[in-house]
Structure 1
């Protein structure tokens, strides 16, 4: 039986990312995110350790279409647990480096942002959003179970990033973003018949796809600041917050029938959104994860993860003959 340790640890890190990203009081960590001792860099270092694990699967996007019944050497078989872990991993980066969320945090700290940092962060965010969407698309095509409503949330966050990058100055980036946004909308739309939450998410995302041109400056690394109206901030926070997406009133189902992202087919009428209390934004992921894994503590989880992988490595070897042995 495969170990669930990687999934548990990434889920715990996602909780930490949500707490950091939606944190209202930042007095606890006033260090700039480019400071190697900051919480941002600590989280990135923890996430980076998963790259070695994912390398065991080779080219994941090429391997996923080979369903477990057809998978063979030389790569380690990909399971639904692997898919979930991989999606959560990319979701962590999407939240941590979301052009809107990271700019909001930097504005509150009033740091002068190095152009190099912002440029690298924006490119990284684009890459992780693309990979998240491709993973869910390929997994669904290979008939893995990807029906969990939380995966709709992951698609919504990634989709909000695609919305911004469909206005990139780079032609290839625009094309990739338009295609990825269509895929995200398709993924969420498939669940709207069964989950009201998915209906809310698709309404928010399709509406934002129409409005996103107004926020295209968020992906311009040369801009230190991007002024936004309070209503704009409300809309962007609500699009990234799981609790808000799960509970706020959305457009009716008849308004969300269109899922083509071409502008003429998207929802063009918007419903006045209620005034949202920004203090209520916290990611609300803490309330979701304990239901699956129990109370989480990132430090403890990483210790357990290291132990579990060492134990796993003593009994199983990967195809190269080396053991799974992590030093975290």
Structure 2
């Protein structure tokens, strides 16, 4: 027999070795286990060869009986883990192992076991946790993903292709788990009743472990699925209040996408649908990078000038697998570009994300405020305002009413794609948010302060009025969208609402001090109610709602920010930090109990005399039942593992 025809593998899986059948060695699942729907486990290589080793590995001279006992105990734990991974006799009605089988001494992590045996973490293969999740539950959550998460506003997959790959087991486990972590918060399946937050955290944790073990520590094993996974996990972490973890993950996703050249046009050897998926994966990373960089010391990772890939096409062409030529972001931002057709709704979101990124950089990282006044036509302030007019040009909506937006989105046969409408609503929300930031009372004061008495009163009056007007228009748009039945559930809406709500709070106190009628308090109430609805889905929305309530209880101290005659007044350091906290996304979304202590304003504050809103729901209270959604992974109860999983070395006041 020709020796070249024999395929030798380094190690057989536990099932094949136990049954003495030939193992193909495929990872993470060999052919035998996939065919028989078994949990495919590859035990540490050292334990599989121990029985056949003739000469034992010599022990270092310094080793003592304690070291030998420790290695024996670890070997016992590994064997027990393998048994738990392969057994099915002790599964409960949900296909999960009974909690009584998970004895306390098994609450260790793969990395700790690897460290104890001085083996690299990659020798510990990911368990087949998804194989124990009933298909009915898996399909239910996948359905939820495409109903509630897909195109809200991030877009990664062609649904038909995703489902086909899921059925054929050709999607990596890390990606499936990331999709589950993103969608389970919206699930109404009885299996997750009262436990959606815990399930999301467990799926995200296991997905991240899979990324680390199967891709980041393996040479040449990065692909677009890894990019999609890490980007999904960045959003999960950020919206759970783990700000630093989400921040680091989006940076990693951006670097991987650049390494894969996703910022350039994909290979022509790919199908049209696959090419578009690659484009959308990149633009979703671009979008997350722009949105979560709204804060001090949060520079952008992806620059517009590096983006050569064309913008996403319309949803119908994508679904039909058609190739369509679209503009690049540079062409869309250029007034002189000759566009053959209007950009797709997703492309409008990318356009607004680009302008928003420019806006946040000007707001949070402007180091040259005193060199050029904002009213100068050559200033960055004027340039951003000019760019914002592009949305009006491309969206064909003049009065900024939702009815106009809907009318402009009706297709030739009279139908409306609700997810495309969602993109249009999101783009217009970003438009109003940019105006709220550029004309925020606190920031207008910063723009004018370097120029003192030279600052024209007409500019400050107009800017302050524009900020209040766009804050109201933002809330009107989201209210109408909800009344029309469109989904207003994107996590970033929480930040948009909070910025507008902060302006409403200042305006309500200012108007009251001037004894004039105002609807600002009504808009503030709408803002808090909207945040409380979002808090049922997103942890950080509850944190933001608490921040807005707390701010309103003291905002009467800052009401003069809306008075053009007092813009030159000094704010103490504590007051400035308070105002920064109302426009910094990272501070807003962090768990209030874990925020750094900030200096308090010097002014005496009294919340009862200024119409403070009654306390309401501050966010969902999530219990922590002991059930393990992943089926095989033992509970991780050691403090060190959280820092490892969240990529946050050392103690942090942001996590």
TM-score normalised per structure 1: 0.69
Report the CA distance between 1:102 and its aligned residue.
2.3
Contact 1:163 1:212 in 2 (8 A): yes
Aligned to 2:348: 6
Superposition map of 1:91-240 within 5 A? 91-108=433-450, 112-167=454-509, 168=511, 169=514, 171-172=516-517, 174-175=518-519, 177-240=520-583
3-state SS in 2 of match to 1:166 = helix
Aligned to 2:379: 38
Partners in 2 of 1:195 and 1:163 — Cα distance? Answer: 23
Cα RMSD of the aligned pairs, angstroms, is: 3.2
Aligned to 2:650: none
Report the CA distance between 1:170 and its aligned residue.
7.0
- Could you list the per-position Cα deviations for residues 163-190 of structure 1 after superposition, in whole angstroms to 9, with x for gaps in the alignment? 1111223734x22x11111111111111
Partners in 2 of 1:213 and 1:48 — Cα distance? Answer: 34
TM-score normalised per structure 2: 0.36
Segment of structure 1 superposing worse, 218-227 or 54-63 = 54-63
Contact 2:540 2:591 in 1 (8 A): no
Partners in 1 of 2:454 and 2:615 — Cα distance? Answer: 37
Larger-Rg structure: 2
Partners in 1 of 2:515 and 2:427 — Cα distance? Answer: 31
Q: How many residues align?
A: 254
Structure 2 vs 1, CA of residues 6 and 170 (structure 1 numbering), >3 Å: closer, same or farther? farther
Report the CA distance between 1:264 and its aligned residue.
5.8
Contact 2:561 2:567 in 1 (8 A): no
Contact 2:460 2:564 in 1 (8 A): yes
Partners in 2 of 1:53 and 1:9 — Cα distance? Answer: 10
Contact 1:200 1:250 in 2 (8 A): no
Partners in 1 of 2:452 and 2:466 — Cα distance? Answer: 23
Structure 2 vs 1, CA of residues 251 and 264 (structure 1 numbering), >3 Å: closer, same or farther? farther
Partners in 2 of 1:154 and 1:251 — Cα distance? Answer: 22
Report the CA distance between 1:63 and its aligned residue.
5.2
**Structure 1 residue runs of 4 or more that deviate by more than 6 Å after TM superposition:** 75-78
Partners in 1 of 2:424 and 2:615 — Cα distance? Answer: 34
Ranked by relative contact order (alpha carbons within 8 Å, sequence separation 6 or more), the top structure is 1
Partners in 2 of 1:58 and 1:217 — Cα distance? Answer: 31
Structure 1 unmatched ranges of 5 or more: 253-260, 268-328
Contact 1:57 1:76 in 2 (8 A): no
Aligned to 1:20: 362
Report the CA distance between 1:112 and its aligned residue.
3.1
Contact 2:498 2:545 in 1 (8 A): yes
Segment of structure 1 superposing worse, 45-54 or 84-93 = 45-54
1:249 corresponds to 2:592: yes
Contact 1:189 1:202 in 2 (8 A): yes
Partners in 2 of 1:248 and 1:111 — Cα distance? Answer: 41
- Could you list the per-position Cα deviations for residues 293-325 of structure 1 after superposition, in whole angstroms to 9, with x for gaps in the alignment? xxxxxxxxxxxxxxxxxxxxxxxxxxxxxxxxx
Structure 2 unmatched ranges of 5 or more: 1-313, 316-343, 596-609, 617-655
Partners in 2 of 1:133 and 1:236 — Cα distance? Answer: 21
Structure 2 vs 1, CA of residues 248 and 226 (structure 1 numbering), >3 Å: closer, same or farther? farther
Contact 1:115 1:221 in 2 (8 A): yes
Structure 2 vs 1, CA of residues 16 and 59 (structure 1 numbering), >3 Å: closer, same or farther? closer
Report the CA distance between 1:10 and its aligned residue.
0.6
3-state SS in 1 of match to 2:377 = coil
Partners in 2 of 1:115 and 1:105 — Cα distance? Answer: 13
Partners in 1 of 2:591 and 2:446 — Cα distance? Answer: 22
Partners in 1 of 2:582 and 2:357 — Cα distance? Answer: 17
Report the CA distance between 1:24 and its aligned residue.
5.0
